[in-house]
C-alpha cells in the first residue's frame, strides 16, 4: 500500500484541478491510499476573513501535520504564476526540511508572463531552480513547458508530459447517428466566456458561414465576463434563432449537449494546458476546431482529429475551418470516429490514473534503493 498526500483545494470549488484530483481519487486502485491536504481559500464568511493569512496558516498546518504523519509520496499541484509559486514553494521547503522524499509537482496552469518574469532576474532564476527544479518528478501539459524547465536546470529524465482526463461515466451514452448532409449541424463552444478564448472571432465567423449553410446552429455553454456583450452582439446581428446560450452545464445536461452536437469549436489564443472539455468532445465523437497553443498540439493532430488553427486566431481563419468541415459531412464522420476511439484509449480517467500510479511507484522505488 502506497500512502500519498495530495495538495489541493476543497472539492466544493469548481475548477479543472479540483475535478482532476477528484477523478484521480475516484479511480485509484487498492494499492494507493490517499490523504488530502487542503490549500488555498476556503468558502464561507470565515474563509473570507482569513483570506490574507491563508498561506501562512497552511504552511504552519503542514509543518505540524508532517511532524506526526509520514507518506510515501507528496503530490503538489502548482501553476506557473506568482501566488501559486510562492505558496507551493513554501510547501516544498517545509517538505525538504522534514526530509520528505518523492515530491511530485504537477503543473496544471502556465503563464508565459511568469516565465519571462523569472528569466528577467538572476535571483528569481536561481530561486526557481533551487526550489522547483530539484524535486523528484515534474509533470507538465506541453512540450514547450518541459523544454523551459530543462533550460532552467531540471533534469530531463525527471520531467514528464501528462494530459488531463475525462470521466467516461458522464460521456459513455453519447453515440449519435452519422451525418448524411450538412443540414442541422450543431456547433458547440464550452468554456469560460473571455475574449482570449476566441469567442468574438467565432461569432463573426459563424455569422458569415450561417448565411451559406441551412439550419446550422451555434451553442455556447458556460459563463464569463463577456456573456452580456456576446448576447448583445448576437441580438444586434439578428442571430438569436441560430445562436443559443445554455449557461453553466454539468453532468447529464453537459452529456446531452455533447450527444446532440457535431463540431467542437474552441479557437482559444490563451495559453491553455489541456482543456477537459476538448477531451470530452473527442470522447463523445465530435470533430474539433481549435488552436495550436499550450498543450493542445500534444492532443490534436491537424487533419486527423480536426482542424488546428494558428495561434494568431482571426475570424477569417475560423470561417475557413468551419467551411472546410461543414462542406463535407463524410469528413466530420471520419474525424468523429477517430476522436472517439483515441479519447477512450488515451484520455479516459482510468488510463491517466494508471499513469499517475506508476509515477508514484517509480519515485518511491527510486528512493527505496
Rounded Cα distance, 146 and 159, in Å: 7
- Strands laid side by side in the 243-247 sheet: 243-247, 217-221, 186-190, 263-266, 287-291, 306-309
Q: Are residues 186 and 309 in the same domain?
A: yes
Rounded Cα distance, 88 and 166, in Å: 26
Q: Are residues 184 and 332 in the same domain?
A: yes
pLDDT at 183: 77
pLDDT at 51: 61
Cell numbers given for 328: 463535407
Sign of CA dihedral 159, 160, 161, 166: negative
Rounded Cα distance, 315 and 267, in Å: 10
Cell numbers given for 81: 504564476
Q: Are residues 63 and 199 in the same domain?
A: no
Q: Are residues 114 and 8 in the same domain?
A: yes
Number of separate domains in the chain:
2
What Cα–Cα distance (Å) separates residue 272 from each residue in 83, 162, 260? 19, 14, 26
Q: Are residues 110 and 220 in the same domain?
A: no
pLDDT at 289: 97
Q: Are residues 354 and 332 in the same domain?
A: no
The backbone region for 184, taken as left when phi is positive above 0, alpha when psi lies in -120 to 50, beta otherwise, is left
Taking the alpha carbons at both ends of the chain, their separation in whole angstroms is 18
Burial class (CB in 10 A: 0-12, 13-18, 19+), 223: middle
Q: Are residues 319 and 364 in the same domain?
A: no
Q: Are residues 250 and 291 in the same domain?
A: yes
User: pTM of the full predicted structure?
Assistant: 0.86
Per-residue pLDDT of the chain (369 residues; tens, 9 = 90+): 899 999 998 776 666 788 899 999 999 999 999 999 998 766 654 455 556 677 888 999 999 999 999 999 999 999 999 999 999 999 999 999 999 999 999 998 888 899 999 999 999 999 999 999 988 899 999 898 999 999 999 999 999 999 999 998 887 766 677 777 777 899 999 999 999 999 999 999 999 999 888 889 999 999 999 999 999 999 999 999 999 999 999 888 988 899 899 999 999 987 667 788 999 999 999 999 999 988 898 899 999 999 999 888 999 999 999 999 999 999 999 999 999 999 999 999 999 999 999 999 986 555 544
Q: Are residues 306 and 362 in the same domain?
A: no
Instruction: Give the CATH number for residue 264.
Output: 3.40.50.2000
Domain span at 335: 168-346
Q: Are residues 109 and 11 in the same domain?
A: yes
pLDDT at 202: 98
pLDDT at 140: 95
Amino acid at each position: 500500500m502506497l500512502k500519498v498526500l495530495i495538495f489541493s483545494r476543497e472539492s466544493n470549488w469548481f475548477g479543472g484541478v479540483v475535478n482532476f484530483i477528484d477523478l484521480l481519487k475516484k479511480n485509484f486502485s487498492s494499492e494507493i491510499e490517499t490523504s488530502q491536504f487542503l490549500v488555498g481559500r476556503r468558502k464561507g464568511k470565515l474563509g473570507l476573513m482569513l483570506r490574507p493569512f491563508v498561506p501562512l496558516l497552511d504552511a504552519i498546518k503542514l509543518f505540524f501535520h508532517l511532524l506526526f504523519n509520514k507518506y510515501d509520496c507528496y503530490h503538489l499541484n502548482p501553476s506557473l504564476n506568482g501566488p501559486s509559486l510562492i505558496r507551493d514553494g513554501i510547501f516544498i521547503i517545509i517538505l525538504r526540511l522534514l526530509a520528505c522524499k518523492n515530491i511530485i509537482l504537477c503543473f496544471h496552469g502556465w503563464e508565459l508572463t511568469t516565465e519571462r518574469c523569472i528569466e528577467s532576474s538572476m535571483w528569481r532564476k536561481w530561486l526557481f531552480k533551487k526550489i522547483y527544479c530539484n524535486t523528484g518528478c515534474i509533470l507538465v501539459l506541453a512540450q514547450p513547458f518541459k523544454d523551459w524547465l530543462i533550460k532552467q536546470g531540471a533534469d530531463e529524465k525527471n520531467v514528464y508530459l501528462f494530459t488531463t482526463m475525462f470521466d467516461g461515466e458522464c460521456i459513455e451514452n453519447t453515440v449519435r447517428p452519422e451525418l448524411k448532409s450538412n443540414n442541422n449541424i450543431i456547433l458547440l463552444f464550452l468554456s469560460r466566456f473571455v475574449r482570449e478564448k476566441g469567442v468574438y472571432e467565432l461569432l463573426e465567423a459563424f455569422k458569415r458561414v450561417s448565411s451559406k449553410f441551412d439550419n446550422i446552429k451555434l451553442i455556447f455553454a458556460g459563463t464569463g465576463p463577456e456573456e452580456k456583450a456576446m448576447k448583445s452582439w448576437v441580438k444586434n446581428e439578428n442571430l438569436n434563432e441560430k445562436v443559443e446560450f445554455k449557461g453553466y452545464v454539468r453532468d447529464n445536461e453537459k452529456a446531452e449537449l455533447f450527444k446532440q452536437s457535431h463540431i467542437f469549436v474552441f479557437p482559444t489564443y490563451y495559453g491553455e494546458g489541456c482543456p477537459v472539455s476538448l477531451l470530452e468532445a473527442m470522447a463523445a465523437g465530435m470533430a474539433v476546431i481549435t488552436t495550436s497553443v499550450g498543450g493542445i498540439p500534444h492532443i490534436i493532430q491537424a487533419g486527423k482529429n480536426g482542424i488546428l488553427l494558428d495561434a494568431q486566431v482571426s475570424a477569417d481563419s475560423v470561417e475557413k475551418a468551419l467551411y472546410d468541415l461543414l462542406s463535407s459531412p463524410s469528413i466530420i464522420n471520419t474525424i468523429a470516429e477517430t476522436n472517439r476511439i483515441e479519447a477512450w484509449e488515451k484520455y479516459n480517467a482510468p488510463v491517466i490514473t494508471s499513469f499517475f500510479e506508476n509515477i508514484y511507484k517509480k519515485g518511491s522505488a527510486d528512493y527505496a534503493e
